[in-house]
Structures are given as structure tokens and as C-alpha cells.
Amino acid sequence: MTGAPQYFLKPKYQLAEIKSAFRRGNAMNWTRTAQDFAFGNGWSTGDVFDLIQSISAEHFYKSMDSHMDGKTRQDVYYVPCSIQGDLEGVELYVKFTANANGLLLISLKESDR
């Protein structure tokens, strides 16, 4: 474990790269935590692809070093939920990084800010 993570005002990963990696027809590279949130809310994988496609540059919040590995960067977005249902319009915390399989959706949850 390293010290306190550093924060950055510009994303590490280009939004176009994120959207290209997370589009219908591709395999979804995401954590169990993100899956549990999505499926627990009755969403399909396609719904999550659509949510990611709705992200704009204005939704970017920060880029940060990983708490576990100071060499790995993570980009955080606050995104209004575009999926119909109980969370429609609610702000979501969406975080991406990269791993051996490409870009990874690490976190998907309701925002607490």
C-alpha cells in the first residue's frame, strides 16, 4: 500500500477510447462490484453500455492514483443515470482504469456527494 493517492485534473484515458471499449458488441470488462450494482438494479449489460455511451467530458471529476498501486491511474466521472427505472436521473459514480484486458469499469454506484 502506498501513501495518499495523487489527484489530477485531466483524465488519463481518452473518453473516446472508453466509449470505444464499452459499446454493444464488445465483451464487458468490469468488476464484480460494478456487476452487482447493475444487476441488483435490474439493468442489463446493454443498459450499462448505453450509460457509458451517455458520458460526456463535462461529467469528468478527477483522475487519481489507485489506493493499492500508485502506478495505476483511475478516472472518475459523475454521470446522471440515463437508464429508465428507480435511478433514472440520479447521479452515479463511475470509475475506469486499465488492466491486462484493456479498460476496466471498476466502480458503478450511486454518488454520495
pLDDT in tens, 55-108: 999 999 999 998 877 789 999 999 999 999 999 999 999 999 999 999 999 999
Q: Look up the CATH number of domain 7-110.
A: 3.30.2310.40
Using the predicted structure, report yes or no on whether residue 3 has a pLDDT greater than 70.
no
C-alpha span between 99 and 80 (Å, rounded): 26
d(CA 107, CA 33): 7
**What pTM was estimated for this model as a whole?**
0.93
Residue ranges per structural domain of the chain: 7-110
Predicted local distance difference test score (pLDDT) of residue 2: 52
β-strands 7-8, 102-110 pairing: unpaired
Residue pair 75/60 in contact by the 8 Å Cβ criterion:
yes
